[in-house]
Amino acid sequence: MDRKRTKISPNTLNFSLKTGRKAPIKDYDTNEAQDWQENLFSPMRESRFEETKINIWRLVPFFGILIFSLFLLAGKSWHLQAIEGDKNLILSEGNRIRIKTLPGARGKIYDRFQKILARNGPGLKLVVVASEIEDENRIIQILSPLLGESEQEIRSKIDEAKKENAFSGVAIKTNLPHETQLEILARQKELKGVSIEEDIIREYPEGEVFSAVCGYTGEISSDELAKPEFAAYTSGDFIGRAGIEGSYEDELKGKKGRELIEVDAFGKEEEVLARQDPESGNSLILNLDFALQKKAKEYLDEGIKNYGASGGVVIIEKVQTGEILTSISSPSFDNNLFAKGISQAELAKLLEDPAQPLFNRAISGTYPCGSTIKPMVAAAALEEKIITKDTKILDKGAIQIGAYRFPCWTSSWGLAPHGLLNVEEALSQSCDVFFYTIGGGYENQPGLGVAKLKEYALKFGLMAKTGIDLPAETSGFYPDEEWKLKEKGEPWYLGDTYWISIGQSYVLVTPLQLNNYLNAIANGGKLMRPYLVSAIIDENENPMFNYQPEVIREGFIASENLAIVKEGMRKSVSEGIIYPLRNSKVAAAAKTGTAEYGEKDAKGYYETHAWVSGFAPYDNPEITFTVFLEGGGASNNAAEVAKKIIDWYYTEGQNRGS
């Protein structure tokens, strides 16, 4: 049923409000009033009430999220204060406090008479504090031309600094030139977060003379920094890379200190708030003789030039102890280049140099040793009773085995055969036929055979590293049947035994191994471990540790057999073929070697290395010496160099502390 609805008259409503009287009933529709009252309790009202209840329940998830968020905020607040409070304190102080690293001085290196071989000098380094950098791109653009590095290189270093320690200075360039320093200081306002700090630069006063032994320091790489053993290092640190610097890194390195510095808004240092002093590393005293090393290098380089050699080595060792007085590998390099931060161009030049100046020939180079192996073969034959002191073997110029001929060196030179020789005479004349025979046997004379030859090569240390306190030492090599079959696909022949009996063919030694084996002959049968560092001292020069001589092996050759060999080596000088040493200032005993290598030339000749190794004085051996000329021709070329060194050592060199 349609009902007519009317609005309340405004006039009537106003009257009621003003007078308080009831409005006349005639102004209302009675039916409409009744409907209005009934509607108060109609189903429509109940529906609205239910709808309100439903809307309230919809708010429950909202309140849940709100409560959860409050708990989350409370937890984060607790974490920031209790767990990361120290970190955030630093963050809050980052605008005014800087952590400055103070380098710990590296220990010095001295010779046996306290002459400086490695020391520290003042330097400058460029440091970034990553947290203070505001415009990284602009800083990179400015630094790139100043440092001579690409923008990518500098960006990588800054990124590394961020990962390493954003609030502590990290070096991105060491050995900063003075001119660069001035340019950076002039633009300091543009380089917020960048500063120049004092540094320590390694110095080697004698450079090339001692570089093969001392080695050098170099900047640590990002790959190394990722390794656990380098946890104490940071970007820009220098570590020992080769030689003694590398072997004794743990002793030589200093311990860094720190300063907590207050800085202003422009990064200018205002006040040191706290300081932890750096500590110097320990220093080393070597067995090397400063003056002898310098003089030996001079004579070696002269010999290399005179005889057209490509390189050379001099080693001098104390007979009874194994102390290394001299170790030279030439050509050499200036290790100051590395200590100051070598450029890529300079490094490439060294690496590409065919003379291989970075290669330490004394301990890493392996070469055929030629006749210098004959004293070992003689000692082994005497020890195994293959021969006696008086056994004589006939040299007719060559040994003929079927179609193969094995000549003595005299035959190759067009000289007469040696005839009948005993072992001392054979050593004196370096008779190849004698050593072919005692090595491999011939006619009625038995030989040692390859197995025994290899056994004694091992006993004398020619197949293993000596254990010297330097990195990158190489083992020698002495072949046998099994090796040849595996590597060459060929059986072992008697001729192979003949060749290795005179140090040719596959036999390889390092100059240090050769010297050390002859040192065992000189001292009566003790194979010593050669060593360079004699003592470790602290920064106040108080002794920390003294190294003592170490015997690797002894008693493997009877002293009377070694005495025979030593006499043969003495005769090599006094009446044999090593005539350059005949008039030396002290009586020396030695053995030379002309070792073939490479390919035959058009005339059918091989190139040769020149060797001499021996000891002096003969009656009471003090030193063993080895001179090696790589591609240096005849063995007596090396003997000429050795004589100059020995004569100087026992005359002018007696005052070796000067």
Note whether 462 and 478 are within 8 A (CB): yes
> What pLDDT is attached to residue 111?
97
**Spatial separation of the C-alpha atoms in residues 87 and 515, rounded to whole Å:** 60
- In this structure, the answer to whether residues 255 and 300 fall within a common structural domain is no
> What pLDDT is attached to residue 78?
60
Residue 136 corresponds to which tokens in the numbers above?
A: 């990284």
Domain around 469: 291-654
Domain at 116, CATH number: 3.90.1310.10
Q: Which of 231, 254, 284 is the last residue of a domain?
A: 284
> What pLDDT is attached to residue 190?
85
Displacement of CA 1 from its chain's centroid (Å): 108
With CA atoms as reference, report the closest residue to 436 among 381, 515, 368, 360: 381
- In this structure, the answer to whether residues 256 and 320 fall within a common structural domain is no
Q: Which of 250, 284, 318 is the last residue of a domain?
A: 284
With CA atoms as reference, report the closest residue to 501 among 610, 333, 373, 630: 373
- In this structure, the answer to whether residues 325 and 224 fall within a common structural domain is no
- In this structure, the answer to whether residues 416 and 535 fall within a common structural domain is yes
Helix ranges (H only) for 23-150 are: 30-40, 43-58, 60-78, 85-93, 136-147
Give domain status of residue 36, yes or no: no
- In this structure, the answer to whether residues 321 and 405 fall within a common structural domain is yes
* Kind and range of the H or E run holding 150: none
Domains contained in the chain, number: 2
Q: For tokens 């004569």, name the residue.
A: 647
Give domain status of residue 595, yes or no: yes
Give domain status of residue 78, yes or no: no
> What pLDDT is attached to residue 583?
92
Domain at 395, CATH number: 3.40.710.10
- In this structure, the answer to whether residues 188 and 265 fall within a common structural domain is yes
- In this structure, the answer to whether residues 388 and 371 fall within a common structural domain is yes
> What pLDDT is attached to residue 63?
59
Q: Which of 233, 252, 284 is the last residue of a domain?
A: 284
Instruction: List average pLDDT for each run of 10 residues in the chain, which is 658 residues long.
Output: 41 38 41 45 46 55 63 60 52 61 92 96 87 86 89 86 76 84 86 86 95 94 87 87 96 90 72 89 97 97 97 98 98 92 87 96 97 98 98 96 94 92 98 98 96 97 96 95 96 97 95 98 98 96 94 96 98 96 96 91 85 97 98 97 97 66
- In this structure, the answer to whether residues 267 and 357 fall within a common structural domain is no
- DSSP letter string over 208-235? GGTHHHH--EEEPPHHHHTSGGGTT--T
- Residue 218 CB-density burial (10 A; 0-12 exposed, 13-18 middle, 19+ buried): buried
- In this structure, the answer to whether residues 277 and 301 fall within a common structural domain is no
- In this structure, the answer to whether residues 308 and 265 fall within a common structural domain is no
- In this structure, the answer to whether residues 302 and 278 fall within a common structural domain is no
Note whether 492 and 485 are within 8 A (CB): yes
Answer positive or negative: Cα dihedral of 573, 578, 584, 586.
Answer: negative
- In this structure, the answer to whether residues 406 and 514 fall within a common structural domain is yes
Give domain status of residue 433, yes or no: yes
With CA atoms as reference, report the closest residue to 434 among 370, 425, 564: 425
